[in-house]
Amino acid sequence: MRIYQPREELRPYVRYYWVLESDEPFSVLTFPIGCPQMIFHGRSPLFIPELSSRQDKFTISGQVNFPAHIASDGDTEMIVAVFYPHTIGMFIDTPPSAFYNQEISGYDIGNKQLNLLADRIFDCADSEKAISLIEQWLTARIIPSLNIKRIGTSLSALLRSPSTSVGNLAGIACLGKKQFGRLFSEYVGMNPKEYGRIARFQRALRMMQLGSRDYADIAYSNGYSDQSHFIRDFRQFSGMTPKQLTAYQTPYSDLYTVPV
């Protein structure tokens, strides 16, 4: 897998791009990562057993609250743009709340310019050129707004401390609690309380990734009421207990790791 960093003007909105080409079949367990993605499949799309379906050739992946496997038949060539939790809606003119717990075809949201971009990507034989086309398209659609800034500021606080109350997050965003909840759900794709649980899970994963196996300390450090609460949440989002996951694969937090 190759990682590409976005150009400077896109860095507040796009976390990174990754490219994978593989002729080997594989199956990978994935978790809620807290970030929506645009996925372009140059060859065979991935199969998701939990949804009993394949991704579309051009897929938009929304916020999810469940673990899933992704499987390749050995004919994989994909380019993925990973966005910050609250920014993809600015580019596609569709609120992320519309594809909560879904992976939808990008062709189905009725954005003709986005469809043309996808067609150009599939006609492009070089992945770096394809990413350049994506970057040109995204850069032309940057429209900063006060609400994006407000939700972004509250998200930064939430990621630092996932147990921060919705009331405090609303205050950070300079919004009323009800208005904040509505805007957060619209921009991020799930409500702030649920997203806080995803962030807390990912933060725990990061501690495990860095070598911690003191689950009582992980629970305390991430605001869980006790170790049992941590294990229950962890099982919901990963399908396993922390100990089982560690035996199954190396823990890795997508949300709290910046790949290079």
What phi-psi label fits residue 142: left (phi over 0), alpha (psi between -120 and 50 degrees) or beta?
A: beta
pLDDT at 120 over 90: yes
- pLDDT in the model for residue 65: 95
pLDDT tens by residue, 121-159:
999 989 999 999 999 999 999 999 999 999 999 999 999
pLDDT tens by residue, 85-117:
999 999 998 999 999 999 999 999 999 999 999
103 within 8 A of 55, measured Cβ to Cβ: yes
The one-letter amino acid code at 200 reads R
Q: Would strands 103-105 and 58-61 be described as parallel, antiparallel, or unpaired? A: antiparallel
Tell me how far the alpha carbon of residue 233 is from its chain's centroid: 18
* CA-closest candidate to residue 70, choices 19, 22, 31: 31
Cα–Cα distance measured from residue 169 to residue 181, given in angstroms and rounded to the nearest whole number: 9
Over the Cα atoms of the chain, what is R_g? 18
* Homologous superfamily (CATH) for 203-260: Homeodomain-like (1.10.10.60)
The one-letter amino acid code at 28 reads V
What are the residue boundaries of the structural domains of the chain, listed by start? 2-139, 145-189, 203-260
Task: Provide, rounded to the nearest whole percent, the portion of the chain with pLDDT above 90.
Answer: 94
One of 2.60.120, 2.40.160, 3.10.290, 3.40.1130 is the CATH number of 2-139, namely 2.60.120
Q: What is the mean pLDDT of residues 240-246?
A: 96
Which run of H or E residues covers position 232?
A: helix 227-238
* CA-closest candidate to residue 183, choices 122, 97, 77: 97
Residue 51's pLDDT band (cuts 50, 70, 90): confident
Q: Phi and psi (nearest 5°) for 105?
A: -70, 130
Q: What is the mean pLDDT of residues 29-56?
A: 93
* CA-closest candidate to residue 156, choices 84, 223, 91, 254: 84
Q: Would strands 53-54 and 2-4 be described as parallel, antiparallel, or unpaired? A: unpaired
Query: How many beta carbons lie within 10 A of that of residue 229, not counting itself?
Result: 12
Residue 50's pLDDT band (cuts 50, 70, 90): confident
- Tell me the pTM: 0.95
pLDDT at 172 over 90: yes
DSSP letters spanning 180-203: HHHHHHHHHSS-HHHHHHHHHHHH
